Amino acid sequence: MKSEPDTYSVDDLAKEKQGMWEGCRNYTVRNFMRDQMAPGDQAFFYHSSAKEIGIVGIMELVSGGYPDPTQFDPKSEYFDPKSPKDAPRWLAVDVRLVKKFSQVVPLSVLKADPVASGMQVCMRGQRLSVQPVTPEEWQAVLRLAGVEG
Partner DNA sequence: GCCAACGTTGGC
Q: Which is nearer to DNA, 27 or 79 (CB)?
A: 27
Q: Can residue 115 be called a binding residue for DNA (CB under 7 A)? A: no
In whole angstroms, what is the distance from residue 38 CA to residue 51 CA? 31
Which range touches DNA (CB under 7 A), out of 25-33, 66-74, 93-101, 135-143?
25-33
Least distance (Å) from DNA to the CB of residue 104?
12
Do 137 and 119 form a contact (C-beta atoms < 8 A)? Answer: yes
Smallest distance from DNA to CB 49, Å:
5
Nearer to DNA, 39 or 103 (CB): 103
Minimum separation from the CB atom of position 148 to DNA (A)? 26
> Given the rule CB under 7 A, which residues bind DNA?
2, 4, 25-28, 48-50, 53, 107-108, 111, 121, 123-129
